[in-house]
Structure formats: structure tokens, C-alpha cells
Amino acid sequence: PSGPHSTVYFGGFSQGAFAISEQVDPYNRDHADDAIIFTRTYDVAFRRHPTFEQMAQAVGNTVAHELGHLLGLVHTADCADLMDTRCTNDSILVPQQFGTAVLDHSVFSLGLQNELELLDWILGFVGL
């Protein structure tokens, strides 16, 4: 696309992460930030060998999580939430979703993040 745009790259390996975003971009102010999904990390990350469907779910959940950062979402502490970072690696093998979740202590010691409301506002869907 022409003009500034964010990009998610796929490939490589990381010892400690499935992926990383360039930043948590408050309110998507930077329209040209990037993320990378370390696809080779998935080979050794789970307690048992995932099915094809579980692996596809894990990659999809991870991409959504990193896009959340590029749009301004922070980490939460809820295994069913896409922005979660507290649960085991196996938690990304099942469907997760954006919702309202408790903030992770690394972000703030109390509070909630309403991801759907924030995304509506950030992406300009509010008031349409």
C-alpha cells in the first residue's frame, strides 16, 4: 500500500517469545510500526505436539495479539483474552478473543482494559 502502514513479518526463532511488536502504540499514533511472528519458535513451545488446527489457532492468536499492540492495547491477565501473557504457552492453542480483561501487573496493579471499546475508538468505528 502507498503511505505509511504497519507490517507483520513471519519467520525466524526466538528463545523467549512467540513474537514481538516494535512498540505498544497508544491510539495507533504511528501508522508505520512493525511486528514479527517467530514461526520456528512454535516447533518446540508446547507440552505436546499440536494438531494442524491448534497450530493455526496459535499463530492466529499471536498475530492478533501483536496487532493489538500496534493499535495500542497492553497486556492483560486472562487466559481467554488475546492480550494475555500470564498463562502457559498451551493457552494459545485454543480460541481467544478481545474482550474486557484485568490488566497485567506489569502494566498497572489494578484496572481493566475494554479492548473492543478501545479498538472501536482507535479504528474510528465509534459514532458511525
Domain annotation covers residue 49: yes
Domain annotation covers residue 54: yes
Domain annotation covers residue 104: yes
Which tens digit of pLDDT belongs to each residue from 19-76? 999 999 999 999 999 999 999 999 899 999 999 999 999 999 999 999 999 999 999 9
- Domain, as residue range, for 113: 7-122
Domain annotation covers residue 1: no
Model confidence, pTM = 0.94
Q: Which helix (H) or strand (E) holds 119?
A: helix 115-122
Domain annotation covers residue 14: yes
Domain annotation covers residue 128: no
What's the number of domains the chain is made of?
Answer: 1
Contact criterion met (CB below 8 Å) for 80 and 65: no
Domain annotation covers residue 127: no
Which tens digit of pLDDT belongs to each residue from 92-119? 999 999 999 999 999 999 999 999 999 9
CA dist 108 and 66 (Å) reads: 19
Residue range 8-21: mean pLDDT, rounded: 97
